[in-house]
Amino acid sequence: MSTIVRPYGDTTGDGMVQLSFTLPVPADKRAEGAALQLAGKMGLDPAMVVHSRAMGDGYTFFVVYGRVQHLVDLGKVRRLRRKLVVVGACIGTDAHTVGIDAILNVKGIAGEKGLEYYRELRVVNLGAQVSVPDLVERARAEKADAVLVSQVVTQRDAHLHNTREMSAAFREALPAARRPLLVVGGPRFDERDAAGLGVDRIFGRGTTPREVASYLVHAVLPARAVAA
């Protein structure tokens, strides 16, 4: 059986795909032209607008159908063959769990489900005021692939001190091959400071669960996945 496949629409291997999107333009012929232009830039050739509908004042929703030339090599698809384990907490004296709960809890935020909703993830939410040693030990016991820490308290740069203490503790406790991804978030972090704080990624204000999930999958799989 070939591991090279192409999308299927009407006949095997015809490369036909359907996608939908919204453009901030009024619903008219120019809007349809803009939709086709976008589809062409995405690699659909030929493409056709099969559905369009006004979405309020100045917005139009489109469904576009067209052919792509791209092939997919199933032999290069990688998977973890188990659930990705995420441990989350607020460390130190920080008792503000709204941020970490919005990312982890199934109810999520603003209508977007949290990481607990994803069946491919196993989430362990330790809550507030977790000590760094306890976090390291629990992450080790759970064989965590990633550790998510929320820090809202910033007096005297507590969020920075706590993050550095956490990253140093993980480096001391676990070899690099077994060390989980270290991710921190909070309203006062600068996302450019990850390397200086010893973590893999920083998320700032307004981050959604979907953004965190996408990062975790793309960061964890290359290091720990196996061929499908």
Of 171, 167, 166, 181, nearest in space to 84 by CA: 181
Q: 48-60 burial string, b = 16+ CB within 10 Å, else e?
A: ebeebeeeeeeeb
- The answer to whether residue 107 is catalytic is yes
Q: What is the DSSP letter of 109?
A: B
Between CA 123 and CA 58 the distance in angstroms is: 41
Q: Token pair of 171, please?
A: 């480096």
The residue annotated as part of the active site, out of 29, 41, 76, 107, is 107
Between CA 17 and CA 15 the distance in angstroms is: 7
Q: Token pair of 49, please?
A: 């607008």
Q: Token pair of 54, please?
A: 């006004």
Tokens 């489109």 sit at which residue? Answer: 62
Active site residues: 107
